[in-house]
């Protein structure tokens, strides 16, 4: 979810769900240790609980970044061992780390020694054409011995050669049964599943087998789906929230950005799916995507977008 789950996206998702654990996009250790820390680490207090996801393979660097995560107030630090992009591979981290479980264990131990935050690992079920269950079982077992007790498992292999990151999300087959088997064989660990989760019925089914579900693109493209998660999955009273009320709260946020001299369009892109599935949604998106309007105050654009949406709904009626 690099370039997707930035602080603006997380603010929107927190308006929809109080309980869902939010993750940052993956941030490399080099970017934190040698770059603009505030740009990468700043977040709004309303985002809690929120986890910082790191990319790296040097235990000492990851330890320093884990300390930063704690000092900046994050609730968890997560090591990404699942990203298959060529750029990440050139840095010798991401999914290629699954081939070096002892190095991952060393990284986890260094991070745990440096912080009191939970240290978790996100990974795949295998790399390239290694499809044996024993491969992921041994990886999890080795890393667990270093003190990691939470694993978020993308239920596809990562093909490090021959597939783009996009194709790696679709072409390697989903094998949920391997993640379920991990939970059966490591009942003491927290096992969450990821990959191809596209509706709430699938989330419910997966929760019969594992401890948690990580949802990426479905949550991003259909943000309104999060509105029922607190009641459906956490047993909390349903929120009396309408799409109109959510849009108003989001406009307050965009107006704050605008008043601070920040462009609101980069934030607004995360909310373009708000009215998906309803009459007039396409016209609403078209207004918000019109680059000629991006210098206007957000509520001025909202007035045009709402008029377009309601006009489209009347035509469809």
179 and 210 Cβ atoms separated by less than 8 Å: yes
Cβ neighbours of residue 117 closer than 8 Å, sequence gap 6 or more:
66, 69, 70, 74, 75, 76, 77
Task: Kindly provide the b/e burial profile for residues 93-126, where b requires at least 16 CB atoms within 10 angstroms of the residue's own CB.
Answer: bbbbbbbbbebbbbbbbbbbebbebebbbbbbbb
From CA 158, how far away is CA 167, in angstroms rounded?
A: 10
Determine which one of 9, 83, 96, 148 is catalytic. 83
Q: 157 and 131 in contact (C-beta within 8 Å)?
A: yes
For residue 55, which of 90, 17, 20 has the smallest C-alpha distance?
90
Is there a catalytic annotation at residue 46?
Answer: no
- DSSP run (H or E) holding 77: strand 76-81
- Tokens matching residue 200: 């709430």
Phi, psi of 54 (to 5 degrees): -110, 150
Residue 45 CB-density burial (10 A; 0-12 exposed, 13-18 middle, 19+ buried): exposed
Which 3 state secondary structure label does DSSP give 98? helix
CB 55 within 8 Å of CB 80: yes
The residues that are catalytic are 83
């Amino acid at each position: 979810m690099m370039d997707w789950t930035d602080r603006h996206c997380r603010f929107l998702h927190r308006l929809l769900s109080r309980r869902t654990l939010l993750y940052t996009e993956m941030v490399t250790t080099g970017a934190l240790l040698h770059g603009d820390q505030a740009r990468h680490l700043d977040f709004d207090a309303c985002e809690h609980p929120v986890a910082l996801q790191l990319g790296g393979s040097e235990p000492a660097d990851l330890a320093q970044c884990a300390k930063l995560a704690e000092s900046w107030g994050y609730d968890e630090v997560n090591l990404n061992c699942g990203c298959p992009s060529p750029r990440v591979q050139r840095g010798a981290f991401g999914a290629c780390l699954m081939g070096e479980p002892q190095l991952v264990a060393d990284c986890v131990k260094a991070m745990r020694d440096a912080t009191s935050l939970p240290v978790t690992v996100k990974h795949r079920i295998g790399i390239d054409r290694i499809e044996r269950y024993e491969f992921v079982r041994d990886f999890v077992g080795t890393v667990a011995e270093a003190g990691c007790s939470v694993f978020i498992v993308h239920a596809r292999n990562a093909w490090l050669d021959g597939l783009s990151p996009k194709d790696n999300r679709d072409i390697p087959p989903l094998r949920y049964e391997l993640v379920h088997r991990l939970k059966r064989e490591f009942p003491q660990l927290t096992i969450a599943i990821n990959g191809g989760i596209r509706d709430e019925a699938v989330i419910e089914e997966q929760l019969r087998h594992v401890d948690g579900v990580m949802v990426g693109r479905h949550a991003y493209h259909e943000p309104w789906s999060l509105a029922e998660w607190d009641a459906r999955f956490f047993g909390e009273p349903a929120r009396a929230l309408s799409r109109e009320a959510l849009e108003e709260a989001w406009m307050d946020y965009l107006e704050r950005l605008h008043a601070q001299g920040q462009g609101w369009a980069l934030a607004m892109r995360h909310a373009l799916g708000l009215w998906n599935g309803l009459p007039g949604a396409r016209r609403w998106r078209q207004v918000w995507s019109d680059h000629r309007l991006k210098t206007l105050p957000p509520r001025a654009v909202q007035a045009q977008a709402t008029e377009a949406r309601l006009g489209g709904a009347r035509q469809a009626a």
